[in-house]
Amino acid sequence: MPRVSVVTPTYNHTEELDRAIQSVVDQTFDDLEHIVVDDASDECDPRTIVNRFDDDRLEYVSHEENKGAGAARNTGIAAAEGDLIAFLDSDDFWTEQKLERQVSEIESLNDEWVGVYCGVQTDRKRLFKHVAGRVLGDRPAVTGDTEVLRRLLYPNSGFALGSTFLVKRDAIERAGLFDESLSRYEEVELATRIVEVGKIGYVDEDLAVIGRSGYPRATAVARSGERLFERYRDAYSETDLDVEAAIRSHHFLIARSFFREGKFAAGYRYLKRAEPHDVRQYPRLGYCLFLGALELGKGVSQSS
């Protein structure tokens, strides 16, 4: 059996998927399998991308109907044989030593630690990240349980698991699979349960490159955030987490999402209840307002 199972959900991605698969093929750690789960793509056929690779470690699985990223990841976990599971979204990719570094790190830790994540590079925001880091200082890495959860609960905090995460299979078996009812924050919800069974470590290298092939709908962001905090408000409150501050930060993200879609009235309603956790959020707010104005402009030109 392979040591590591890589799970990649995909939906209507082609060239990005090719890049993601290639980055797994190129790993210096090769005791792995790679399971690509097509979530019923209807604009392309990811199987054609998978078939480009002559690699018997690569497996293709497909859904007959679209179920969402959480369900696709769960399908991949069910098919996985490794005792370590890594997640790689189809619009992201890894540097060559990502798995080697992480497997070495998790093997060096005792049984209290059930997973590790790593630093990220961002396809389109390297300059912004560099300038923000020089002016405001880099955000420190966090490890453990409550500290990891605190950072995850603040959207756009410069921290996410996603394509950075390597986790022990038995930790997922104890915590449970992804919540398939969520179209956003499903990774935060899973991490909430993961840190109840063990700690999460960190490899201080930028080993994953995060792309951006699209944005979730603002209504999906709002609905999933509300479900997350309804379900875990009491559990979060039992720790030293500032739940109300986290909720206000989510409202800021939701406002930005509505603004980006040109829905300024809905965005303003959330903005009145919002509070950013970091001054880095203000330039993003301005950018979303700009994109929303462009969307409104398109609507006016199409109706005239």
pLDDT in tens, 129-149: 444 443 333 445 666 666 777
The helix, strand and coil proportions of the chain, stated in percent and rounded to the nearest 5, come to: 50, 15, 35
Nearest Cα to 73, choosing from 59, 56, 85, 64?
85
Residue 183: which pLDDT band, with cuts at 50, 70 and 90? Answer: confident
Q: What is the pLDDT of residue 280?
A: 66
Cα 106 from chain centroid (whole Å):
20
Check pLDDT > 70 for residue 99.
yes
Single pTM value for the model: 0.85
Pairing of strands 4-10, 166-168: unpaired
Check pLDDT > 60 for residue 50.
yes
The neighbour count for residue 25, using CB atoms within 10 Å, is: 16
Q: What is the pLDDT of residue 213?
A: 63
Q: Are 289 and 259 in contact (CB under 8 A)?
A: yes
Where are the extended beta strands (E) located within 111-243? Answer: 113-122, 166-168, 199-210
Identify the CATH number of the domain defined by range 4-210. 3.90.550.10
Distance CA 158, CA 119 (A): 9
Looking at the chain, the domain(s) classified CATH 3.90.550.10 span 4-210
Q: If you average pLDDT over each of 62-71, 119-128, 216-225, 232-241, which comes out highest? A: 62-71
Q: Say what percent of the chain tops pLDDT 70.
A: 85
Residue 64: which pLDDT band, with cuts at 50, 70 and 90? Answer: very high
Q: What is the pLDDT of residue 145?
A: 64
Q: What is the pLDDT of residue 81?
A: 97
Check pLDDT > 80 for residue 303.
no
Give pLDDT tens digits for 187-236: 889 988 998 899 999 898 999 998 866 677 889 889 888 888 888 888 88
Q: What is the pLDDT of residue 130?
A: 41
Q: What is the pLDDT of residue 25?
A: 98
Q: To the nearest whole number, what is the mean pLDDT of the chain?
A: 85
Q: Are 260 and 218 in contact (CB under 8 A)?
A: yes
Q: Which residues, at least 6 apart from 190, have a Cβ–Cβ distance to it below 8 Å?
A: 172, 175, 176, 177, 178, 179
Q: What is the pLDDT of residue 37?
A: 97
Nearest Cα to 167, choosing from 109, 121, 120?
109
| CB half-sphere exposure, 291, CA atoms < 13 A | 13
Residue 274: which pLDDT band, with cuts at 50, 70 and 90? Answer: confident
| CB half-sphere exposure, 248, CA atoms < 13 A | 11
Residue 124: which pLDDT band, with cuts at 50, 70 and 90? Answer: low
Average pLDDT over residues 48-63: 95
Tokens coding 131: 């300038």
Check pLDDT > 80 for residue 154.
no
Q: What is the pLDDT of residue 126?
A: 47
C-alpha separations of 195 from 115, 171, 200, 251, 266 in Å: 9, 9, 7, 25, 34
Distance CA 217, CA 222 (A): 9
Distance CA 270, CA 149 (A): 24
Q: What is the pLDDT of residue 144?
A: 61
Q: What is the pLDDT of residue 301?
A: 56
Residue predicted with more confidence, 107 or 252 = 107
Give pLDDT tens digits for 157-167: 555 678 999 99
Q: What is the pLDDT of residue 133?
A: 43
Distance CA 186, CA 160 (A): 11
Nearest Cα to 100, choosing from 168, 160, 166?
166
Residue predicted with more confidence, 122 or 273 = 273
Q: Residues 234, 237, 241, 247: what is their CA dihedral angle, to the nearest 10 degrees? A: 60
Q: Are 189 and 130 in contact (CB under 8 A)?
A: no
